[in-house]
Structure 1
Amino acid sequence: MFRLVLRRGAGLVLTLLVMSLAIFLVMEVLPGDPAAIQLGTSGRADTLAALRQSMGLDQPAVVRYLAWISGMLRGDFGTSFTYGVPVAGLIAERLAVTLPLALMAIVLSTAIALPLGVIAAARNGTAVDHGATLFTQICVAVPNFWIGLVLILLFSSQLGWFPAGGFPGWEAGLGAGLKALLLPAVALALPQSAILARVTRAAVLDVLNEDFVATARAKGLNRSAALWRHVVPNALVPVVTIMGLQFSFLIAGAVLVENVFVLPGLGRLAFQALAQRDLLVIRDVVLLFAGLVVVVNFLVDMAYLALDPRLRGRA
């Protein structure tokens, strides 16, 4: 078991290194000179050269890549070209918004999807099943930023229950912060909950046809107890797989949703940095997003081993 975890951890580190190289190369081929963008069209050639030198852009690509990676290993994420402050501080400040938003969306998605998928499978072919299928089809078809706009019109403009955008900061209180993040979290969660509900329904239906379920019923266990004690735990492996994959979709969706709700999160920071050609911020934020996804997938792999001991011998 320990050797397996060690092997997966080594693969995680290697994946992050490959991702860092890919991100750096993509940033290198993007059009536009960050120094020229900051200086403007009226800048002189000698001023532009001095600015490029201060930014380290006059160094070879290999030197800049190694300096970037070694700096991150020391906890030095560099200084933003645009904001003139350490990138680590910018990321920490924005992560305090994006991470709670993603966690809220995951909790909401799971709370909606698991009961819906299990009940739809248990009532297979009934009106409840058809209604759940219709709900999931609508949620999958509608993009999360459009859901966000509808939520703003309904709950902010019409009812006035929630703020239309912005974030008051956690210093304003836990309740105020969660209230500002609730609508964006719902906008992120609904499409993902629809996908998770459909996977849960299919997984539960597969397990319901297994012989051990019929054996449990033959021993006198009622349908509800057999469902929740035997069927659902054995159907969790594909469900956990989708939950892990959904984290990457939540991160990608956060870029759009944070801009719709004007939230000062990592997604909005990445969007602004891309518009301003702030290479350091873009590289660090994208690598952080990629790292979060890789770490979540690693945790999902570990969850497989906990849910199904049979997988330990195959891994």
Structure 2
Amino acid sequence: MTGYLLRRLPSALGVLLLASFAIFFILRAVPGDPVATLAGSDPSPETVAAIRADLGLDRPVLAQYGTWLADVLRGDLGRSYVIGGEVSELLSQRIGKSVELTIGALVFSLAIGLVLGVLGVTVKNRAGQAVLSAINAISLIVPAYVSGFLLVFLFAITWPVLPPGGHVSVLSDPQIGFQYLLMPALVMALPPAAIVARYVKDGLLQALGEDYTRTAKSLGIPHRRILWRHALPNALPPVLTVLGMLVGTLLGSAVIIEAVFAWPGLGTLAEQAVTRRDYPVIQAVLLFMVAVFVIVQLLTDLAYALIDPRVRLR
């Protein structure tokens, strides 16, 4: 297992390096200048030049990237252009909230996907299959901001049973915190849940067609026991891989969901930084999201290799 990890590390580090390069240069290619935001409505050329020099934006872009990358490797993410504080402190204030939302969405997506996948195998009539197909299609097609506004309209305005937005930590107050978490996590979980359901259904159909399940049926073992104790465990390894990839999807959708539900996480911070062209904040948030995705993928590969030794051999 250690050898497998050492073989996977160079590619993970390479992805992070390429991501840092792409993030830095794409931001510079996007129209807009942070100096214009900081200099005011009618600045003099001297003021603009002084601000640009103070921020280091008067240097060649490659030199700026080299300095930024060296600082990141030392753990220094820079200072916010607009807020003025250390970017690492801004992230530390928001990371826990985004992690809480992402974990909640991941749990919901796994639970909903497992239920829909099992129902896709056990429900035999056409009407039931049509309903399940419609649920999966709607979950994938409807944009997150549409379903988010719809839930807010239904459960915070029409029937005010849940708060429309904001955040209370589940750890500090589980009951109230879950009420704040429910709608945004559910909206984030719907598209991944449909994907999980598809993999669970395909895995169960394949497992139920194997010799060991047919033998169990011939021995008179109840179908429900075969499904839950034999077929489902063998259908889960591909789902584990999919969940690792879906972390990136959840982190990406967090930007929209946090804005809809006023969730004070990294997505809200990134949205505010983009509108103000706050390069250090945007770079740090995007690089953190890529790092989380790479780490989760690496852990998923290790878990898959632990389950299936053939992966280690390849």
Identify whether the pair has TM-score above 0.5, normalized to the shorter chain: yes
Deviates more, 1:215-224 or 1:240-249: 215-224
Cα deviation, 1:186-225, whole Å, max 9, x if unaligned, reads 1111222122112211221122112222123334432222
Q: Name 1:208's counterpart in structure 2.
A: 208
Question: Does the C-alpha gap of structure 1 residues 212 and 172 become closer, same or farther in structure 2, counting only changes over 3 Å?
Answer: closer
Structure 1 position 171, deviation (Å): 9.1
Deviates more, 1:231-240 or 1:251-260: 231-240
Structure 1 position 33, deviation (Å): 2.1
TM-score scaled to structure 2, two decimals?
0.93
Give the Cα–Cα distance (whole angstroms) in 1 for the partners of residues 157 and 172 of structure 2.
22
Matched, 1:64 2:28: no
Q: Secondary structure at the match of 1:235?
A: helix
Taking only aligned residues, the RMSD between alpha carbons, in angstroms, comes to 1.9
Q: Name 1:123's counterpart in structure 2.
A: 123
TM-score scaled to structure 1, two decimals?
0.93
Matched, 1:290 2:290: yes
Contiguous gaps of at least 5 residues in structure 1 = none
Deviates more, 1:197-206 or 1:115-124: 115-124
Give the Cα–Cα distance (whole angstroms) in 1 for the partners of residues 310 and 227 of structure 2.
22
Q: Name 1:26's counterpart in structure 2.
A: 26
Give the Cα–Cα distance (whole angstroms) in 2 for the partners of residues 305 and 129 of structure 1.
35
Q: Name 1:307's counterpart in structure 2.
A: 307
Q: Name 1:277's counterpart in structure 2.
A: 277
One-letter code aligned to 1:196: V
Q: Secondary structure at the match of 1:187?
A: helix
Kept in 2: contact 1:81–1:280 (CA 8 A): yes
Structure 1 position 14, deviation (Å): 1.4
Q: Name 2:250's counterpart in structure 1.
A: 250
Give the Cα–Cα distance (whole angstroms) in 2 for the partners of residues 299 and 283 of structure 1.
24
Give the Cα–Cα distance (whole angstroms) in 1 for the partners of residues 155 and 170 of structure 2.
22
Structure 1 position 282, deviation (Å): 0.8
Structure 1 position 126, deviation (Å): 5.3
Give the Cα–Cα distance (whole angstroms) in 1 for the partners of residues 119 and 308 of structure 2.
23
Cα deviation, 1:124-144, whole Å, max 9, x if unaligned, reads 455443332222122222112
Contiguous gaps of at least 5 residues in structure 2 = none
One-letter code aligned to 1:284: A
Kept in 2: contact 1:121–1:129 (CA 8 A): no
Percentage identity across paired residues of the two chains? 38
Q: Secondary structure at the match of 1:83?
A: coil
Q: Secondary structure at the match of 1:82?
A: coil
Question: Alignment length, in residue pairs?
Answer: 314
One-letter code aligned to 2:263: L
Deviates more, 1:145-154 or 1:35-44: 35-44
Q: Name 1:37's counterpart in structure 2.
A: 37
Q: Name 1:177's counterpart in structure 2.
A: 177
